[in-house]
Each structure stands twice: as structure tokens, then as C-alpha cells.
Amino acid sequence: MARQNALPPTLPPRLISREVAAAYVSVSPTKFDQMVIDGSMPKPKRLIGRRKAWDVRELDAAVDNLPDADNDNNDNDTWDDVDAA
């Protein structure tokens, strides 16, 4: 991820790329795209031209709104659907 040298190392970026946003919420970029489409993750902000980025604060709020695993009433839980690396 490109980072401006003017930022102090203790100040993380507010807007992040698709790949970084996916890693931030512990899913693959493809799964992240699906989550944006289904509304469980926020849409990106448009920067310059076609460049897009995700607001870390909005990602945090979206993660807070995800259902807890304990609330799933699925008796067929497996690790097959976990995308986190």
C-alpha cells in the first residue's frame, strides 16, 4: 500500500484500498466485493477519477453490525466458508 511520507507512522490512513479493506475485515477481496454488493460492507468513496477507497470508520461500523457467530442457527457450520488468511 502506498503511503505518503508526510504521515507519521503512528497515524494510519483513513481511506484504504479494496485489497487492504478486505484484509482489514479478514476476508478475500472477492468475498469483500460480495459483501459490498449485499450491503453488509459500505460502498467506497470516490477519490480522483475512477479511484475508490474505503473509509476505515465505516468498515468498523459495518463489522460492528455483522451478526455474531453464536446467533447463526446453522447446524452445518464448517470452516469451509472462512476466507481469512
Which range of residues forms the domain containing residue 46?
15-66
Residue 36 in any domain: the answer is yes
CA distances from 62 to 20, 27, 56, 58, 77 (A): 15, 14, 10, 6, 23
Residue 28 in any domain: the answer is yes
At residue 6, the pLDDT reads 74
Query: Is the pTM above the cut of 0.85?
Result: no
pLDDT digits 0-9 by tens, 44-79: 999 999 999 999 999 999 999 999 988 666 555 565
Average pLDDT, the chain: 86
Residue 10 in any domain: the answer is no
Residue 44 in any domain: the answer is yes
Given pLDDT bands bounded at 50, 70 and 90, which one contains residue 7?
confident
Residue type, 28: S
**Number of domain units in the chain:** 1
Burial of 31 (0-12, 13-18, 19+ CB in 10 A): middle
What is the percent of the chain where pLDDT is above 90? 65
